[in-house]
Amino acid sequence: MLIVGELINASRKSIAEAIEKEDAAAIQKVAADQHENGADYIDVNAGVFVVKEVEYLKWQDSTVQAVVDAPCSIDSPDPKAIDAALQLHKGTAMINSISLEKERYESLMPLVAGTDLKVVALCMSDEGMPETVDDRMKIADKLVNGLLQNNVAVENIYVDPLVQPVATNKEFGIEFLKAIEKIVTTFEGIHTLCGLSNISFGLPERKFLNQTFMVMAIARGLDGAIVNPLDKKMMANIIAAEALMGKDEYCANYLTAYREKKFEF
């Protein structure tokens, strides 16, 4: 399971404040904590600062990389911001995300073409948010084939089928789960990745629902997640589900987590 730590996002008040004060130590602590608790990539997002996004995203990126030996997931809908942050990134970043929205697609594709970058391919188009498996597969087909034609290796593509709230439509959960399974069986060697807290929007006990849905998505083939690695319950669910999926030889990772008391909440 590929874990992308989600905490360095300026939509969170403490992060926005640290950015505005240029408090590098605060950002670096969050980065280091996430890495120590299992994050393979550190997501950086400054999207709430519309005018200063480019400047702040670059600062986040270099501030994180100064202390953490893990690459960043450069998270922005704006290709210019991604390009700027990429210029100073060391190692192989993840781009979060390309989509089928025309402007985003056309300006991001040249940036990722022929590179080793990890690319999140978000199932969104100018026609709006997908609802069904078919909606998602139509977008995924075009996105994945576009990336492959532009010499992005299949194993560097992480399709995000886009989670929608089950309280809005009771089919939104199962359609997402079916899409995960269809994507991983259609494109051999591809990965899937998502943030899934939207699933519980409008319902009580959101953390519990998010954990449950994470386990269900793993059961259908999900192999990447944008989560809070400091959330012990969520991480325990992921570790247990991976062992039960046969992805943990001799249950070694599960047993280590148990000995390190990661199942004590």
Q: Which of 12, 52, 138, 220 binds a copy of itself (CB under 8 A)?
A: 220
CA distance 251 to 134: 36
Q: Tell whether residue 216 is a contact of a copy of itself (CB under 8 A).
A: yes
In the stretch 75-114, what mask flags binding to a copy of itself with x, by CB under 8 A?
----------------------------------------
CB of 205 to a copy of itself, least distance (A): 5
Q: Which of 201, 219, 230, 232 binds a copy of itself (CB under 8 A)?
A: 219
Nearest CB to a copy of itself, comparing residues 62 and 253 = 253
In the stretch 151-190, what mask flags binding to a copy of itself with x, by CB under 8 A?
---------------xx--xxxxx--x-------------
Long-range contacts of 24-30 (CB under 8 A, 24+ apart): 24/63, 24/66, 27/60, 27/63, 27/64, 28/63, 28/64, 28/66, 28/67, 28/68
Q: Tell whether residue 245 is a contact of a copy of itself (CB under 8 A).
A: yes
Q: Order of strands, edge to edge, in the sheet holding 191-192?
A: 191-192, 157-160, 118-122, 94-99, 72-75, 41-44, 2-5, 224-227
Q: Which stretch binds a copy of itself (CB under 8 A): 45-53, 115-123, 224-232, 237-245?
A: 237-245
State how far Cα 73 lies from the chain centre: 8
CA distance 159 to 31: 24
Interface with a copy of itself (CB under 8 A): 166-167, 170-174, 177, 199, 203-205, 208-209, 212-213, 215-220, 236-237, 240-241, 243-251, 254-255, 258, 263
